[in-house]
Amino acid sequence: FGIRALFTVTITLSLVTAAAWSEKDATGDDIYPPLWNLAPENLLNFLVKDNKIIINAWNYQERLGLYKSLLNSSAKYFTAFGYQNFGNILWGLPLQHGWQFRTGRLADPSNKTSCGYENGDLLCISVRSWWSCMNYYLAVIPFLGAVEAGLFGQLQYEIEILPPEERTTDFCYSVVDCRSRIPNLMNAWKAYFESSATFSSFKLDDALCLMWRAHVASIAYALPKFHNSLKYLSDPEANFGEDWANAVDFIAATHFSTDLLTTNNFQVFLPQRMLVVGDAVPFISDFSPQQNRVLLSLSALYKANKITGGLLLSLWRKSMSTEEERKIGQKLIANMVS
């Protein structure tokens, strides 16, 4: 059973990546998230009031600014991994956020407000969006973990994250607040940012290990918390969201690199719009054959892991326990397209 299970994972992930790499070569002007040039460059570009830096994480441009400040402040650790900070492994986070914005996944799925829509506040991030709430734990928490780790040096102002209009108890809003409420998540992200500064010889696999560990922890914490938000989505979109979260665990086990160009090429398989009632994978007419095939593969991977009670993921993680094995896993994902 173990060999068959690992074979299933290998084939699925290979199909996913093959479709992604064959469909697009990310070398054009669209390699950055939407509105990247307009996002705040550093912490002092946000509103400073009453000796506090006030950040509205429910505005796309400001949440994007959290990522931009993280990338700018950590660039010095990635100079050996590509020019213009392209090798920074944090790129996966803002690129995913940009894809969510571009495809309408941050807008109010209940259609009760104009949040996130062109005829309303396009930059608004809805707290009713499952995607936006999941992303909060991959944006604000990494950012506050970096603040606590000293990535930005000694700050003369406190950091305050503004709450959403509803579900305020589902989030934390400062280093002290998050430290008291979700210490394990803060520890995970803090460990990643501290490691970048303390490694005597920077080792990419070690950095990827800590980054993916924190990434997976954020998703694992947020999944049950926002499960009821899936009710606002169509069944096909809700299923895709759960398939996506499951696939991240498998990809994370290989310490797959999330630099700028690799992430751009890899996420091309993701659907360019929200899935709606009537979308039947793999027969969605306005999706490419590759996108349809990948969505089907992600669904199969989720179902196989669920049926086995998580044994499939456990076997995959065990097979990726050494750096050499992870390199093989990465090649299984990437080399199938060559």
Block means of pLDDT (10 residues each) for the chain, length 338 residues? 56 53 48 96 96 98 98 92 92 98 97 94 98 98 97 95 97 98 98 77 86 98 97 97 94 94 86 96 92 88 95 95 90 54
The reply to whether 177 and 257 lie within a common domain is no
Specify which residues 115 forms β-bridges with: 121
**What pLDDT, on the 0 to 100 scale, is given for residue 267?**
82
Token representation of residue 102: 């571009």
The reply to whether 254 and 119 lie within a common domain is no
Q: What are phi and psi of 262, to 5 degrees?
A: -65, -45
Domain end point (choices 159, 184, 203): 203
DSSP string, 7-67: HHHHHHHHHHHHHHHHH----SGGGSPTTGGGS-SSGGGSEEETTEEEE-TTBHHHHHHHH
In a domain, 274, yes or no: yes
In a domain, 52, yes or no: yes
Domain end point (choices 203, 219, 246): 203
The reply to whether 244 and 331 lie within a common domain is yes
In a domain, 15, yes or no: no
**What pLDDT, on the 0 to 100 scale, is given for residue 231?**
96
The reply to whether 263 and 193 lie within a common domain is no
For the entire predicted model, the pTM comes to 0.90
**What pLDDT, on the 0 to 100 scale, is given for residue 336?**
41
The reply to whether 192 and 279 lie within a common domain is no
* Residue 158 to residues 52, 53, 126, 180, Cα–Cα distance (Å): 5, 6, 25, 16
Token representation of residue 38: 């307009």
The reply to whether 38 and 182 lie within a common domain is yes
Split into its structural domains, the chain has a count of 2
The reply to whether 159 and 85 lie within a common domain is yes
Token representation of residue 188: 């995970």
Structural domain of 94: 34-203
The reply to whether 170 and 43 lie within a common domain is yes
**What pLDDT, on the 0 to 100 scale, is given for residue 331?**
79
Distance CA 19, CA 12 (A): 11
**What pLDDT, on the 0 to 100 scale, is given for residue 22?**
41
Distance CA 155, CA 52 (A): 10
In a domain, 12, yes or no: no
Token representation of residue 318: 């065990």
Report DSSP state, residue 162: P
Side by side, the strands of the sheet bearing 158-161 are: 47-49, 52-55, 158-161
**What pLDDT, on the 0 to 100 scale, is given for residue 19?**
47
In a domain, 120, yes or no: yes
**What pLDDT, on the 0 to 100 scale, is given for residue 87?**
95
Assess contact for 301 and 12: CB atoms under 8 A.
Answer: yes
